[in-house]
Amino acid sequence: MQDEADELTSKTRKKKDMLALQDLGVQLVGLNEQQLESMQLPESLLDAVLEARRITKHEAKRRQMQYIGRLMRDIDAAPIRERLEEWLGQGREHTAQLHALERWRDELLGGDPALARFLQEYPGADSQKLRTLIRNARREQSADLPPKSYRELFRVLREMTTKEPTAAS
Protein backbone atom coordinates (compact mmCIF):
# COMPACT_ATOMS: atom_id res chain seq x y z
CA MET A 1 0.00 0.00 0.00
CA GLN A 2 2.80 2.41 0.92
CA ASP A 3 4.70 1.55 -2.28
CA GLU A 4 1.69 2.54 -4.39
CA ALA A 5 1.50 5.92 -2.66
CA ASP A 6 5.22 6.46 -3.29
CA GLU A 7 4.80 5.52 -6.96
CA LEU A 8 1.89 7.93 -7.38
CA THR A 9 3.83 10.70 -5.74
CA SER A 10 6.89 10.07 -7.84
CA LYS A 11 4.84 9.93 -11.04
CA THR A 12 3.16 13.19 -10.11
CA ARG A 13 6.50 14.75 -9.31
CA LYS A 14 7.95 13.56 -12.62
CA LYS A 15 4.99 14.99 -14.50
CA LYS A 16 5.36 18.36 -12.75
CA ASP A 17 9.06 18.38 -13.55
CA MET A 18 8.36 17.59 -17.21
CA LEU A 19 5.79 20.39 -17.40
CA ALA A 20 8.30 22.78 -15.82
CA LEU A 21 10.85 21.82 -18.47
CA GLN A 22 8.24 22.37 -21.20
CA ASP A 23 7.51 25.82 -19.76
CA LEU A 24 11.23 26.52 -19.82
CA GLY A 25 11.20 25.43 -23.46
CA VAL A 26 8.39 27.90 -24.19
CA GLN A 27 10.56 30.66 -22.73
CA LEU A 28 13.47 29.53 -24.91
CA VAL A 29 11.28 29.74 -28.02
CA GLY A 30 10.44 33.34 -27.06
CA LEU A 31 14.07 34.46 -26.94
CA ASN A 32 15.71 36.41 -29.75
CA GLU A 33 18.63 35.06 -31.79
CA GLN A 34 21.32 36.80 -29.74
CA GLN A 35 19.94 35.50 -26.45
CA LEU A 36 19.65 31.97 -27.84
CA GLU A 37 23.28 32.04 -28.99
CA SER A 38 24.45 33.19 -25.56
CA MET A 39 22.65 30.26 -23.90
CA GLN A 40 25.11 27.78 -25.47
CA LEU A 41 22.44 25.11 -25.92
CA PRO A 42 23.21 21.64 -27.30
CA GLU A 43 22.79 21.47 -31.07
CA SER A 44 19.74 19.17 -30.94
CA LEU A 45 17.92 21.44 -28.48
CA LEU A 46 18.78 24.56 -30.45
CA ASP A 47 17.46 22.95 -33.64
CA ALA A 48 14.25 21.94 -31.85
CA VAL A 49 13.76 25.49 -30.52
CA LEU A 50 14.31 27.00 -33.96
CA GLU A 51 11.90 24.46 -35.47
CA ALA A 52 9.26 25.36 -32.86
CA ARG A 53 9.51 28.99 -33.92
CA ARG A 54 8.83 28.03 -37.51
CA ILE A 55 5.76 25.89 -36.72
CA THR A 56 2.43 27.72 -36.87
CA LYS A 57 -0.13 24.93 -36.36
CA HIS A 58 -1.29 24.64 -32.75
CA GLU A 59 -1.13 20.86 -32.35
CA ALA A 60 2.21 20.58 -34.14
CA LYS A 61 3.64 23.33 -31.94
CA ARG A 62 2.35 21.56 -28.81
CA ARG A 63 4.06 18.32 -29.87
CA GLN A 64 7.27 20.22 -30.62
CA MET A 65 7.16 21.80 -27.16
CA GLN A 66 6.79 18.32 -25.64
CA TYR A 67 9.81 17.24 -27.67
CA ILE A 68 11.81 20.21 -26.37
CA GLY A 69 10.81 19.23 -22.83
CA ARG A 70 12.01 15.68 -23.47
CA LEU A 71 15.34 16.93 -24.82
CA MET A 72 15.75 19.16 -21.78
CA ARG A 73 15.45 16.13 -19.46
CA ASP A 74 18.80 14.95 -20.82
CA ILE A 75 20.65 18.17 -19.99
CA ASP A 76 21.16 20.25 -16.87
CA ALA A 77 18.40 22.87 -17.03
CA ALA A 78 19.59 24.85 -13.99
CA PRO A 79 21.98 27.16 -15.92
CA ILE A 80 19.27 27.86 -18.50
CA ARG A 81 16.73 28.62 -15.80
CA GLU A 82 19.18 30.92 -13.97
CA ARG A 83 20.00 32.83 -17.15
CA LEU A 84 16.32 33.33 -18.00
CA GLU A 85 15.56 34.51 -14.46
CA GLU A 86 18.47 36.94 -14.67
CA TRP A 87 17.12 38.43 -17.90
CA LEU A 88 13.59 38.56 -16.50
CA GLY A 89 14.84 40.31 -13.37
CA GLN A 90 16.65 42.94 -15.42
CA GLY A 91 13.52 43.56 -17.44
CA ARG A 92 11.43 44.02 -14.31
CA GLU A 93 14.02 46.34 -12.79
CA HIS A 94 14.08 48.47 -15.94
CA THR A 95 10.28 48.65 -16.00
CA ALA A 96 10.23 49.68 -12.34
CA GLN A 97 12.71 52.48 -13.09
CA LEU A 98 10.57 53.74 -15.96
CA HIS A 99 7.47 53.71 -13.75
CA ALA A 100 9.34 55.69 -11.09
CA LEU A 101 10.32 58.28 -13.71
CA GLU A 102 6.71 58.52 -14.88
CA ARG A 103 5.62 59.14 -11.28
CA TRP A 104 8.27 61.87 -10.93
CA ARG A 105 7.08 63.51 -14.13
CA ASP A 106 3.43 63.45 -13.01
CA GLU A 107 4.36 64.82 -9.58
CA LEU A 108 6.48 67.57 -11.12
CA LEU A 109 3.57 68.63 -13.31
CA GLY A 110 1.39 68.66 -10.19
CA GLY A 111 3.25 71.36 -8.28
CA ASP A 112 6.42 73.03 -7.02
CA PRO A 113 6.92 70.94 -3.83
CA ALA A 114 7.70 67.97 -6.06
CA LEU A 115 10.37 69.99 -7.88
CA ALA A 116 12.00 70.87 -4.55
CA ARG A 117 12.00 67.18 -3.53
CA PHE A 118 13.46 66.15 -6.90
CA LEU A 119 16.23 68.76 -6.65
CA GLN A 120 16.97 67.62 -3.11
CA GLU A 121 17.28 64.00 -4.22
CA TYR A 122 19.22 64.87 -7.39
CA PRO A 123 21.26 67.99 -6.51
CA GLY A 124 23.09 68.07 -9.86
CA ALA A 125 19.85 68.40 -11.83
CA ASP A 126 19.38 71.49 -13.99
CA SER A 127 16.55 73.26 -12.17
CA GLN A 128 16.09 75.96 -14.81
CA LYS A 129 15.69 73.44 -17.61
CA LEU A 130 13.22 71.44 -15.50
CA ARG A 131 11.16 74.54 -14.68
CA THR A 132 10.99 75.47 -18.36
CA LEU A 133 9.93 71.98 -19.42
CA ILE A 134 7.34 71.76 -16.63
CA ARG A 135 5.88 75.14 -17.57
CA ASN A 136 5.74 74.21 -21.29
CA ALA A 137 4.23 70.79 -20.55
CA ARG A 138 1.51 72.38 -18.40
CA ARG A 139 0.76 74.86 -21.17
CA GLU A 140 0.56 72.04 -23.74
CA GLN A 141 -1.82 70.06 -21.54
CA SER A 142 -4.15 72.99 -20.92
CA ALA A 143 -4.22 73.96 -24.63
CA ASP A 144 -4.62 70.34 -25.86
CA LEU A 145 -1.39 70.60 -27.86
CA PRO A 146 0.84 67.62 -28.77
CA PRO A 147 2.84 66.52 -25.68
CA LYS A 148 6.29 67.53 -26.96
CA SER A 149 7.54 69.04 -23.67
CA TYR A 150 5.83 66.26 -21.69
CA ARG A 151 7.96 63.69 -23.53
CA GLU A 152 11.05 65.87 -23.36
CA LEU A 153 10.59 66.17 -19.59
CA PHE A 154 10.60 62.37 -19.29
CA ARG A 155 13.76 62.12 -21.41
CA VAL A 156 15.53 64.79 -19.33
CA LEU A 157 14.46 63.13 -16.07
CA ARG A 158 15.87 59.83 -17.30
CA GLU A 159 19.19 61.48 -18.17
CA MET A 160 19.40 63.30 -14.84
CA THR A 161 18.58 60.24 -12.75
CA THR A 162 21.03 57.96 -14.55
CA LYS A 163 23.92 60.43 -14.28
CA GLU A 164 23.36 61.39 -10.67
CA PRO A 165 23.38 58.89 -7.78
CA THR A 166 20.59 59.47 -5.27
CA ALA A 167 21.60 61.60 -2.30
CA ALA A 168 18.87 60.34 0.02
CA SER A 169 17.41 56.88 0.15
Domain CATH number, residue 11: 1.10.60
| Burial of 112 from C-beta contacts in 10 A (0-12 / 13-18 / 19+) | exposed
Task: Give the pLDDT of residue 161.
Answer: 84
Please report, as a single letter, which amino acid is at residue 146.
P
Q: Decide if pLDDT at 50 tops 90.
A: yes
Beta strand segments in 4-157, E: none
pLDDT of 90 above 80: no
168 is a domain residue:
no
Residues 6+ apart with CB under 8 A from 53: 29
Q: What is the pTM of this model?
A: 0.51
The answer as to whether 12 is a domain residue is yes
Distance of CA 109 to the CA centre of its chain: 28
Provide the number of structural domains found in the chain: 2
Domain enclosing residue 102, as ranges: 92-163
For the stretch 2-47, pLDDT in tens is 555 555 668 888 888 888 888 898 989 988 888 888 888 899 999 9
Same domain, 69 and 10: yes
Verify that 26 and 66 share a domain, yes or no.
yes
- Count how many Cα atoms sit within 13 Å of the Cα of residue 118 in the half-sphere of its side chain: 28
Q: What is the mean pLDDT of residues 52-57?
A: 93
d(CA 39, CA 52): 17
CATH code: domain of residue 112: 1.10.60.30
